[in-house]
Structure 1
């Protein structure tokens, strides 16, 4: 697979047995063994979202490991919802480190991948060296479970809430409209407008007109469409269906993350920046890029520069 400029060749995948499942793993820079970096994608994406970062990280001397996490691509898609909680998802990454013979690694996460990297730092702090997270800041564990809180604040049409309260409804609509949904979702420079009534993801899956400009070429988008033709959307959506379960799993966990951390925001992203990030991640540095949610795909050069400069500065 290559991007529209044909300058980046995406690595081939291998299937790896870890944590009682199979993960589809893309690996580059084996010659840099001993200096691992693991890239964790978000929803509804997969390992291909890191196509611009992989070669630059290899050049910088890293052994780059990029899984399609459980529920995505050719990786296992368990049927039980609870098999997508943070215990299982972080367990997959720990088992992946064990498979490659690493005690710890630097982790980069985007969107849901960032949530899993934050969770990994909470549940398995000794297995992380450094953290770089994009788009999703640390989420404080408040007094109420997350979905319960979101339902009170945002209502039943919020897609987090809808995924949990109407299990299977959105999955079916997204599955029926894969190409349209992904094509309408991966856009940038969308003109500001009042949100439409209804559930955002379902609206995107049904919308006849795309807003803004495409983030990627048709051939790049086809890689995503093909991956979801294999996996469907239920596995990825099941990550959302464990948010309250995750809240309970973190009840007795120390909420402070001490690892050196870089947080990268997109200025136009709908996800709000954290107002108290360093209360929970005291060694965090923050930068913002002029883009939307899909930071590493919208601004690949700027993202790479930010990541590589920070890694070089923290190369201890």
Structure 2
């Protein structure tokens, strides 16, 4: 599908950075010198920022939206370790180098938020401000993350399952791409206890979706067609580096000093952080009345929250 027909989404270019090719969408090129980088989550696409891109460009930003490695037309390295947090953050630093920027505002959702938090830990000089959606800062646990999650949530937790049973979920999602994505991108469904089994496999196999769709059929087709090209293994490989990332971050200062905005969805199943201000002392927090897919469920409210926060005192955040 030609995405230029969908809400005037920009055309992409392939940029060679950090040993891979990254598909990058741009808007507001006339606003050179004021970059903002938008980082998608899983299983998503740069297209998830379609509502924010034109508004940010109109507000004076050079908007840079990558399909991160493993997604869209970007490279899909075969080695699992090439999706660790060093590679993912180095990609973003190299994108800044490509455009000639020392630093930028970074915005992340879901897995993209995790990359942005870690961008501030591993490349603090490249980060001006942070806006993250859905996923708060994850404090490093005493034991490796997958072991920690397995002890709390069991072997059916999809983070654990992706690591302990490699390839099983990938194959089922690949066989049910459209059904999985249509079942996943929903809103306004009652919070019922999860069924036994692995949630993502259950979603891929469910014949009847729950709740209301968050996208039109044309919008949904962009995601479906992208994953028909890539399959799911390359993006799931991000999860297969969680314990490696745990090792990488062992001796990294865990405090993020950058001005930050955390946007929660009140109906999201991801819990709010109880220690966010301890680890991100210059953070402001807001919540929107939506689920996990914040910028797609409540696009106008999300865009307004981002622009309002960036405009506070010429972008300097007041710490309330």
Range into which the TM-score falls when normalised by the shorter chain? over 0.9
Q: Using the TM superposition, give the Cα deviation of residue 2 of structure 1 relative to its aligned residue in structure 2, in angstroms.
A: 6.1
CA distance in 2, matches of 1:86, 1:235: 14
Question: How far apart in 2 are the matches of 1:216 and 1:53?
Answer: 15
Corresponding residue SS for 2:77: coil
Q: Shift of residue 193 of structure 1? A: 1.4
Residues 117-156 of structure 1 mapped to structure 2, 5 A cutoff: 117-156=116-155
Structure 1 residue aligned with 2:11: 12
Q: Distance in 2 between matches of 1:97 and 1:90?
A: 11
Q: Which residue of 2 aligns with 1:160?
A: 159
1:192 Cα deviation after fit: 2.3
- Quote the residue 2:272 is aligned against: 273
- After superposition, the C-alpha distances for 1:182-221 in whole angstroms (9 at most, x for unaligned) are 0000000012212100000000000000000000000000
Matched residues, number? 313
- In the alignment, does 2:279 pair up with 1:289? no
Q: Distance in 2 between matches of 1:72 and 1:230?
A: 9
Distance 2:275 2:248 in 1: 22
The TM-score, its normalising length taken from structure 1, stands at: 0.98
Q: Does 1:41 align with 2:40?
A: yes
1:236 and 2:235 aligned = yes
SS in 1 for 2:263: strand
Q: Name the TM-score, length of structure 2 as normaliser.
A: 0.97
Pairing of 1:55-204 with structure 2 (within 5 A): 55-204=54-203
- Name the structure 2 match of 1:315: 315
Displaced runs of 4 or more, over 2 A:
none
Give how far 1:231 is off.
Answer: 1.1
Cα deviation, 1:219-272, whole Å, max 9, x if unaligned, reads 000000011011111111000000010000000000000000000000000000
SS of the equivalent of 1:174 reads helix
1:297 deviation in Å? 0.1
Gaps of 5+ in 1: none
Q: Structure 2 regions of 5+ residues with no counterpart?
A: none
1: distance between equivalents of 2:237 and 2:203? 19
